[in-house]
Amino acid sequence: MRRLLALRREGKLATQDVRAMAETLGVRERAVWRWLAAAEQDEATAREPGERARYYGRFTVTAEVRALLGLWKGNVAAVHRELTARAARGEGESPPSIPTLHRAIRRDLTAGERAGLAGGEGEARKHDVFLARPRGWRNQVWETDHVQAPVLVDVGGTALRPWITWFVDCATNTIMGVAVTPGYPSRESVLAALRAAVLREDPFGPQGGLPEKVRVDRGRDFLSKTVAAAFGALVVQVEDLPAYTPHLKGTVEGLNRAVESMFLAALPGYVRQPRPGRRRTRPKDEVLLGFEDFTSRLLDWVTWWNTSHRPEPLKGTSPLQAWEADPTPVREVSPEELWTFTLEDDGRVRVISTRGVRFRRRDYVGPWMTGLAGTGVRVRFMPHHEHRIEVFDATNGRYLGPATLADEASPEQITAVRTARAARSRRLRKDLTSAQHERYAAVTRPGKPERLGAVSAVEAGAELAEADWADLSRLALPDLIPPSAPPAEWRTPPALAARTRRARPTDTADADERGAPGTGSDPGTTGEGEEPR
């Protein structure tokens, strides 16, 4: 249009020029002449030919309209009602019609802005364009994450949704290591998955070694002191990504989505996504998988993913084939060193006594301690695995050996303690909170779920005795038989005297004459001529 306008001002504009422009744009010749006339009055309209001129008073989306769209989740009809109500109160101009408002919103707001105002940042991100990182080489960058499986699993008679913690190689999409936890995961889950990812022994597979960098998303378990110390000892850089940026670790996020659609959705107990406003339901006669069976099936799927699945970016090869075909050297570490580096150190120096090593008010012993009483040691342990500790020499850091709880409670005592704790939790109406804090060990191979939290025999006996005493004290009725009244010469407070027997008018009068509160000498006697109570 600017070229046609310049030719017209120079007097060189011909009809065939306008006709050629109309054919090119696919409009009528008359429309081009109309646009040209509008451009002569306002040259700015040449940038948007066909749009209504600014001086026609075209409605545009204002900051007020954007705020109302966010308030009403993109409901244009509700925004129109709100603008009409404000205009009736004299707080603004009358809004246009609903179709005009719709056209203005579609014209002035992008698809991402409309989706964000209606559904939040997550919906707006679906309309963004992201750059793809270069693939790099194996073990250059790993990504890790926790994901709660949408599948109910039978864990000791309770239906729980297990958590999966895994590490995935960004260059080859290989799942390096995985750990499954029946309850909420912790730093212990991260360390278990890390050991499974680094080791190249069976049953973890040929993939492994140490990565150069690991991406995490500000999870407190991944940024804990224990995990940070393990990564630091293994010389692995940790990249802490900003919060709410799942696109920055798209490899593991894609794996989280793939495991549900490709594997978990077909399992019994799958928590199906219902329509809005409806509860998640499942068949009443559905038999849930046990935790051991679920872990076995998940590990089989991980093996299938690494060996048989062929992602499109890998161009016909499986992740494990792409990993093994990469000539990049692999940094390996021995299992003993890996176990040492992935333990937590409490930072204190202890002395071996004749009763063993005192740790967290408990005694731990080992057969290797014979003859070492008086030696200074340091304790390293796996978080929440309080039944065993690893002991090191405090002077040179040499590994001395493991130590187990000296007086560990029997399985029957542990069961009784947990039963008493559950009863107390029910009385306090904290069943849900108690279940969330129940700790289970993360596993990398199929096995029965193991509850964490070692209890000694002395602790079990004390807690059970306290529970029994509390139950018996609740059955006691101290007010069933009132105590005997004190002697008449005692100056008993009226509040205490009222608890012995009811005060009679005659008693009160006699007490006033004596100058003492009215109490009879014997609560079982009655006055002359009175009926016994």
Q: Give me the pLDDT at residue 519, please.
A: 43
How crowded is the C-beta side of 164, counted as CA atoms within 13 Å?
Answer: 29
Superfamily of domain 141-325: Ribonuclease H-like superfamily/Ribonuclease H (3.30.420.10)
Q: Distances from the Cα of 79 to the Cαs of 51, 90, 98, 130, 457, in angstroms?
A: 25, 17, 9, 32, 67
Mean pLDDT of the chain: 80
Q: Give me the pLDDT at residue 212, please.
A: 95
Residue 233 near residue 227, CB atoms below 8 Å: no
Residue 268 near residue 286, CB atoms below 8 Å: yes
- Position with higher pLDDT, 443 vs 525: 443
User: If pLDDT is split at 50, 70 and 90, which confidence band does 409 have?
Assistant: low
517 has pLDDT over 70:
no
Q: Give me the pLDDT at residue 522, please.
A: 44
CA 404 to chain centre: 32
Q: What letter would DSSP give residue 379? A: E
- Cα–Cα distance, 116 to 514 (Å, whole number): 86
**Residue length of the chain:** 533
Q: Give me the pLDDT at residue 388, please.
A: 79
- Cα–Cα distance, 77 to 101 (Å, whole number): 9
CA dihedral 77, 78, 80, 84 (to 10 degrees): 140
Q: Fold for domain 343-405?
A: SH3 type barrels. (2.30.30)
Q: Can you say whether the dihedral through the CA atoms of 230, 236, 242, 245 is positive or negative? A: negative
Q: Give me the pLDDT at residue 242, please.
A: 86
| pLDDT, tens digit, 9 for 90 and up, residues 375-389 | 999 988 876 667 778
Tokens of 259: 């495991």
Q: Give me the pLDDT at residue 520, please.
A: 44
Q: Give me the pLDDT at residue 285, please.
A: 75
| pLDDT, tens digit, 9 for 90 and up, residues 136-188 | 999 999 999 999 999 999 988 888 999 999 999 999 999 999 999 988 888 88
- Cα–Cα distance, 136 to 488 (Å, whole number): 97
- Cα–Cα distance, 38 to 45 (Å, whole number): 7
307 has pLDDT over 70:
yes
- Cα–Cα distance, 378 to 398 (Å, whole number): 10
If residue 33 lies in a helix (H) or strand (E), which one and from where to where?
helix 29-41
CA 418 to chain centre: 26
How many of the other CB atoms lie within 10 Å of CB of 32?
A: 23
User: If pLDDT is split at 50, 70 and 90, which confidence band does 527 have?
Assistant: very low
Q: Give me the pLDDT at residue 325, please.
A: 94
| pLDDT, tens digit, 9 for 90 and up, residues 15-74 | 998 899 888 888 889 988 888 888 888 777 777 676 654 445 678 898 999 999 999 999
Q: Give me the pLDDT at residue 81, please.
A: 94
Q: Distances from the Cα of 322 to the Cαs of 142, 172, 195, 212, in angstroms?
A: 15, 6, 22, 18
Burial 320-345 (b: 16+ CB within 10 A, else e): bbbbeebeeeeeebeeeebbbbbbbe
Alpha helix (H) ranges present in 131-235? 187-198, 225-233
Q: Give me the pLDDT at residue 148, please.
A: 92
Residue 527 near residue 506, CB atoms below 8 Å: yes
Task: Tell me the one-letter amino acid at 363.
Answer: D
- Position with higher pLDDT, 370 vs 99: 99
- Cα–Cα distance, 165 to 96 (Å, whole number): 54
Q: Give me the pLDDT at residue 533, please.
A: 40
User: If pLDDT is split at 50, 70 and 90, which confidence band does 529 have?
Assistant: very low
User: If pLDDT is split at 50, 70 and 90, which confidence band does 86 have?
Assistant: very high
How crowded is the C-beta side of 183, counted as CA atoms within 13 Å?
Answer: 20
User: If pLDDT is split at 50, 70 and 90, which confidence band does 12 have?
Assistant: confident
Q: Are strands 237-240 and 213-216 parallel, antiparallel or unpaired?
A: parallel
Q: Give me the pLDDT at residue 511, please.
A: 47
Residue 438 near residue 450, CB atoms below 8 Å: no
- Position with higher pLDDT, 171 vs 203: 171
- Position with higher pLDDT, 299 vs 437: 299
Average pLDDT of span 523-528: 42
Residue 29 near residue 73, CB atoms below 8 Å: no
- pLDDT above 90 covers a percentage of the chain that reads 31
How many of the other CB atoms lie within 10 Å of CB of 355?
A: 13
Least-confidence region, from 87-101, 229-243, 259-273, 384-398:
384-398
Residue 153 near residue 291, CB atoms below 8 Å: yes
Q: Give me the pLDDT at residue 434, please.
A: 47
Q: Give me the pLDDT at residue 273, please.
A: 61
Q: What residues does each domain of the chain span?
A: 2-56, 63-125, 141-325, 343-405, 411-475, 481-533
279 has pLDDT over 70:
no
User: If pLDDT is split at 50, 70 and 90, which confidence band does 496 have?
Assistant: confident
- pLDDT above 70 covers a percentage of the chain that reads 77
Residue 173 near residue 251, CB atoms below 8 Å: yes
Neighbour-count burial of 453, counting CB atoms closer than 10 A to its CB (0-12 exposed, 13-18 middle, 19+ buried):
middle
Any idea which residue has 């212990």 for tokens? 188
- Cα–Cα distance, 163 to 171 (Å, whole number): 25
- Cα–Cα distance, 292 to 300 (Å, whole number): 12
For residue 350, the cross-strand partners are: 377
Residue 451 near residue 460, CB atoms below 8 Å: no
